[in-house]
Amino acid sequence: MKCLLKLSLILIGCSFFNPQQRDLLDKIRGSTIKSADKLRLAILYALRYEGTADLDALKRELINGGVSQQKTSLVDLILEHCGKVLALLYINWFAFELNFECVG
């Protein structure tokens, strides 16, 4: 039973089992870190945990931590231009180009 509970908490992304998320939230909620640094940390976290990070909750925490709502939109913008999905597109395109050159 304990294993099932632990597994279900891990699957839903409980911060108790994610020390990086817990550390990030502690920094965002703290008053000693500048807003720009909070945003930088959140962007790096979002890039690292793309696909599993709860971005809406992360952006709410940023706003509660003193980062303007306009600046929190940079998280989405960076993911859109630098995230894994775009990287995979470029990798697939590059592989296609290599294949085409080898055949042609």
Residue 40 tokens, joined:
């930088």
Residue 10 falls within a domain, yes or no?
no
Q: What is the identity of the amino acid at 8?
A: S
Residue 9 falls within a domain, yes or no?
no
Domain count, the chain: 1
Q: Which domain holds residue 58?
A: 18-103
Check: CB of residue 68 under 8 Å from CB of residue 34.
Answer: no
Residue 11 falls within a domain, yes or no?
no
Task: Report pLDDT for 34.
Answer: 93
Residue 56 falls within a domain, yes or no?
yes
Q: String of b and e for 89-99 (b: at least 16 CB within 10 Å)? A: eeeeeeeeeee
Check: CB of residue 22 under 8 Å from CB of residue 15.
Answer: yes
**Tens digits of residue pLDDT in 21-76:** 888 999 999 989 999 999 999 988 888 888 888 899 999 999 999 999 999 999 99
The burial of 1, by beta-carbon neighbours within 10 Å (0-12 exposed, 13-18 middle, 19 or more buried), is given as: exposed
Residue 8 falls within a domain, yes or no?
no
Arithmetic mean of pLDDT, 74-96:
72
Quick check: pTM over 0.75?
A: no
Task: Report pLDDT for 81.
Answer: 80
Phi/psi for 49 (5° steps) reads -110, 30
Residue 13 falls within a domain, yes or no?
no
Residue 57 falls within a domain, yes or no?
yes
pLDDT band, very low/low/confident/very high, at 79 (cuts 50, 70, 90): confident
Task: Report pLDDT for 27.
Answer: 92
End-to-end CA distance of the chain: 60
Residue 6 falls within a domain, yes or no?
no
